[in-house]
Chain A
Amino acid sequence: MQKTVSLTVNGKPVSATVEGRTLLVQLLREQLGLTGTHVGCDTSQCGACVVHVDGEAVKACTLLAVQADGHSVLTIEGVATGDTLHPMQEAFRNNHALQCGFCTPGMVMSALDLVKNNPNPTEREIREYLEGNLCRCTGYHNIVLAIAEGAAVMRGEPAPNVYGTAAE
């Protein structure tokens, strides 16, 4: 059973022919070549696949491609402006909140969703919000710092820059 879907991805209209069982994450990765969205599990628990659909964070492994028909999807590829990182991405870099980078796209997309709903989250709120995102590398310590810093910058406050500045 094949069906053609039309949706907006990172601001651009796209259409593709998918099977009924095709997941949104498969459409993004395999048909649209947007491999920044990752698959880390088969039980919808790791959050490596988080994207925004109509502005809401969604695990792209839990949505069928046909369900995204007519909707607007934002993936990690659409977050930066050209070569300028979004303040949340910049905060991840500044706080070494990624190591292997595999969980990172989902973490950033989740962090943006958190800050949209709660612009000034406490450490506890950040940790609880990350319930649906697994990272095996960082121990979350720096991800929590990064989200707090990203949120601060998005509120227009200066970056705390916990780790200081390197010699050039």
Chain B
Amino acid sequence: MATIGTPVRRREDFRFLTGGGTYTDDINRPGQLYAYILRSQHAHARIGGIDTAPAQRSSGVVAVYTGQDMTADGVGGLPCGWQIHSKDGSPMAEPPHPVLAVDRVRYVGDPVAVVIADTLALARDAAELVNVNYAEEPAAIDPVAALQPGAPQVNSEASGNLCYDWQLGDLAAVESAFAKATRIVRLDLANNRLVPNAMEPRAAIGEFNRATGEYTLYTTSQNPHVIRLLMGAFVLHIPEARLRVVAPDVGGGFGSKIYHYPEEAIVTWAAGKVHRPVKWTAERSESFISDAHGRDHVTHVELALDAQGKFLALKVSTVANLGAYLSTFAPAIPTYLYGTLLAGTYTTPAIYCETKAVFTNTVPIDAYRGAGRPEATFVLERIVDLAADEIGMDPAELRRRNFIPKDAYPYQTPVALQYDSGDYAATLELALKAADYQGFESRRREAMGRGKLRGIGIATYIEACGIAPSAVVGSLGARAGLYESAEVRVHPTGSVSVLTGTHSHGQGHETTFSQLVADTFGIPIDNVEIVHGDTDKIPYGMGTYGSRSIAVGGTAIVKAMDKVIAKGRKIAAHLLEAAEADVEFKDGKFTVAGTDRSRTLGEVALTAYVPHNYPIDELEPGLDETAFYDPKNFTFPSGAYIAEVEIDLETGQVAVVNFTASDDFGRIINPLIVAGQVHGGLAQGIGQALLEGCVYDKASGQLLTGSYNDYAMPRADDLPTFALSTNTTLCTHNPLGVKGCGEAGAIGAPAAITNALVDALKPLGVRHLDMPATSEKLWRTIQQHRAPIAAE
């Protein structure tokens, strides 16, 4: 009966396959109006004034609002959920983030006004009549240039555009290790800016009930309670009891639907003004200039090695772009989700990282699948590969020499984290074997005969997942706790509802969580219902991101089920006239040990709700328990990825011919769903490495990659069939032994692909390639490096 570990097909699929899903834009409320948001076309300008009168008079228009209107009504700015301190102890610069721009626009896409009309077409027509008097100013676009003296100033509160100058690690220890090193390897690299591009564009519907004074927001969110808290407490000042946030089916998020966005506050506030529901749905081109972007680091890294190839110390200096304003989690990404991961899978004893976070006149940047960890992995795995090349050692062997050994856990890294379990060497061997690493050189030669440069690349990764430990994240600057909640409600006849604070935007929680409950309670999966995404139904919870749902949310469910069973044993003991200590729960039955006297969970539940024969003096009726789980530590999934690529010598066209992923996710509840998570992450990682790059014009600040014409999304024929395997070590500090799997692919793939490309181009003397390595870039690289050979 144990479904855990088996490929249960998803319960949510029937509705999605028949067009029966309910995404936010599928919802229409009676009397609904449509909002069109007018956005800045300028990267940086002062607003001299906004004339909304002609738009107000336009056909079908109900209202037009500007930032001034919202400010005058007491609407607050969008809050930031994390505070970082600089080296000198000073808190980060935290400029206000108005919902609608007030006196200045700071990026192309900055919302300026909202037009509300009977139809979307009429709202859009009227928006053309809104006259904004802009005085254009020079814009700071490139993050490194933005830190130079004299650069245009994005926010007056952040002098020199610096948000913070953060550090982690022991610089003195690193310097003394560098002084003793036999070899120092240095590299400058960039981590390309990405647009998350969940296929469902963001949408929001605000509604106000005049009779009760209650507001409802339907929104495309990964965490409805967080939105209710941020919007209710900081922006619109609506008490929780009068604000309901519903996130129905969500069409992908990858981080981009964590944050509290202006549009959510705009439609909710406006609904209260016009007393009718107000709906907004992003067009894709609007998503490109309004969804939080990801990555965008520029980094210098140095690795010190001894004569045997042991890593002695690592020094990393990064400039991280934050965009024009601080998005909800933004400050944490290039610091505590980045610097802390720089030990990777290695025993490097001394590590120092410094990050300068900078404001620019671009869309705000925040977590995107992996969030900090792909950037850390790219830095580390590129410098390790380069080191292997420079000392003439096989990159697999150099990694083996430096892996944290499997008997070293718990392992304290020099950058704050304590890893609980892992076996990196075994995972790498698994991948090497699956990829036939040994046989690669003959494949390289064979490819050369066909005019293809073939390369192989390894990357290992570690990630800190199960984003939680409240005490830990609090000490690191989080302004919230990051536990998770669950309520397990056993109904009178034994069916079960689980109300969870996590939320699914494609991860299949309705299936995975049901498996947990079905196995624990010994009931069919069909008797379990998973409820999420509605603050009026579920207990306060933090939502889904950072691969936390099973490790934190799943554990909360386990704890609530434990409470149900403990109470059930008391009830069963009463019914069976036995001592509680003699009653055990197994296979859905409470049994008096050593006898065949038993009661099913359903019988116990019925007794709890119809307590005629019940220990009413000792026990409350009902069988409904809530638990909150705050873990002691992060979880640490890890893995080894091997990419094999072929580059056409004449055209630069690249093909990923093999991709092998070996991961350690701890216990796996549903291997089908886990494989799907890895596939999707790999596609995004390969997309980052080969195709995707968000490009701004450095002078005008216009987004040059603002649609699918210009931003290359990975398509089916860009990707290979993936070869997956797992090597399991259990997480030691949660009862399920689970680690999380949602981000791995996006973390490990960019470095594996880039290492493979550089390996392929090594015969031409190429040392490094920045992402995305498009065919054009590869072709140019081949031409540049071939020329001297031809001239010889």
Contact = CB atoms under 8 A, between A and B. Distances in A.
Interface of A: 19, 21, 29-30, 34-43, 45-46, 48, 75-77, 79-80, 85, 89, 92-94, 96, 98-105, 108, 123-124, 126-128, 130-131, 133-144, 163-168
26 contacts: A21-B121, A34-B19, A35-B19, A40-B201, A42-B285, A48-B199, A85-B17, A93-B10, A96-B9, A100-B250, A100-B252, A100-B506, A101-B17, A101-B21, A102-B251, A127-B717, A131-B716, A134-B715, A136-B680, A136-B683, A136-B684, A136-B713, A142-B679, A144-B721, A165-B7, A167-B2
B17 A130 contact: no
Contact of A45 (B2, B676, B709, B714): B709
Interface string B706-727: 0111000111110101100000
B630 interface: no
A68 to B, nearest CB: 18
A136 B254 contact: yes
Nearest to A34: B19
Contacts of B707: 41-43
B682 interface: yes
A19 B251 contact: no
A29 B672 CA distance: 32
A131 B285 CA distance: 20
Contacts of B10: 93, 96, 98
Contacts of A37: 19
Contacts of B672: 96, 163, 166
B6 interface: yes
A49 to B, nearest CB: 11
A102 B18 contact: no
Given A138-B683, A167-B2, 14 more contacts: A36-B19, A40-B284, A42-B285, A93-B14, A100-B251, A100-B506, A101-B15, A101-B17, A128-B717, A137-B506, A137-B680, A163-B7, A163-B675, A164-B7
A142 B20 CA distance: 21
B9 A140 contact: no
A75 B16 CA distance: 13
B252 A136 contact: yes
Contacts of A101: 12-13, 15-17, 21, 249, 251, 506
Contact of A141 (B23, B252, B506, B722): B722
A40 B18 contact: no
B7 A98 contact: no
Contacts of A76: 17-19
A124 to B, nearest CB: 8
Contact of B708 (A45, A79, A103): A45
Contacts of B708: 41, 43, 45-46, 134
B3 interface: yes
A48 B19 CA distance: 11
A77 B200 contact: no
B204 to A, nearest CB: 16
B199 A130 contact: no
Nearest 8 CB-CB pairings of A with B: A36-B19, A101-B16, A102-B251, A100-B506, A139-B683, A99-B506, A139-B679, A35-B26
Interface in B89-144: 121
Interface residues of B, number: 66
DSSP class of A's interface residues: helix, strand, loop or mixed?
Answer: loop
Contact of A142 (B1, B285, B676, B714): B676
Interface in B243-277: 249-252, 254
Interface in B1-56: 1-3, 6-10, 12-23, 25-26, 28
B62 to A, nearest CB: 18
Interface in B697-748: 707-709, 713-717, 719, 721-722, 745
A138 B17 CA distance: 15
B372 interface: no
B283 interface: yes
A92 B13 CA distance: 9
**Which of A21, A36, A137, A168 has the most C-beta atoms of chain B within 10 angstroms of its own C-beta?**
A137
Interface string B270-302: 000000000000011100000000000000000
Contacts of B25: 29, 35, 39
B382 interface: no
Contact of B680 (A35, A41, A123, A139): A139
Contacts of B22: 35
A57 B386 CA distance: 49
Given A100-B251, A100-B506, A123-B721, A140 B683 contact: yes
Contacts of B576: none
Contacts of B16: 98, 101, 104
A29 to B, nearest CB: 8
B599 interface: no
Interface in B617-636: none
B252 A93 contact: no
Contacts of A35: 19, 22-23, 25-26
A104 B9 CA distance: 16
B318 to A, nearest CB: 27
B18 to A, nearest CB: 5
B673 interface: yes
A126 B3 contact: no
A130 B9 contact: no
B395 interface: no
A109 to B, nearest CB: 10
A38 B200 contact: yes
Contact of B6 (A105, A133, A167): A167
Contact of B19 (A41, A75, A133): A75
B3 A99 contact: no
B283 A108 contact: no
B3 A166 contact: yes
A43 B709 contact: yes
**Which of A94, A133, A164, A168 has the most C-beta atoms of chain B within 10 angstroms of its own C-beta?**
A168
Contacts of B250: 100
A140 B121 contact: no
B59 to A, nearest CB: 13
Given A134-B713, A138-B676, A167-B1, A105 B19 contact: yes
B676 A130 contact: no
B194 to A, nearest CB: 12
B508 interface: yes
B774 interface: no
A54 to B, nearest CB: 20
Given A19-B121, A127-B716, A42 B284 contact: yes
Contacts of B285: 42-43
Contacts of A39: 25, 201
Contact of A99 (B8, B252, B524, B719): B252
Interface string B743-766: 001000000000000000000000
Given A40-B284, A127-B716, A166-B6, A96 B675 contact: yes
A98 B254 CA distance: 15
A138 B707 CA distance: 21
B591 to A, nearest CB: 22
**Which of A89, A96, A101, A167 has the most C-beta atoms of chain B within 10 angstroms of its own C-beta?**
A101
B715 A130 contact: yes
A157 B226 CA distance: 49
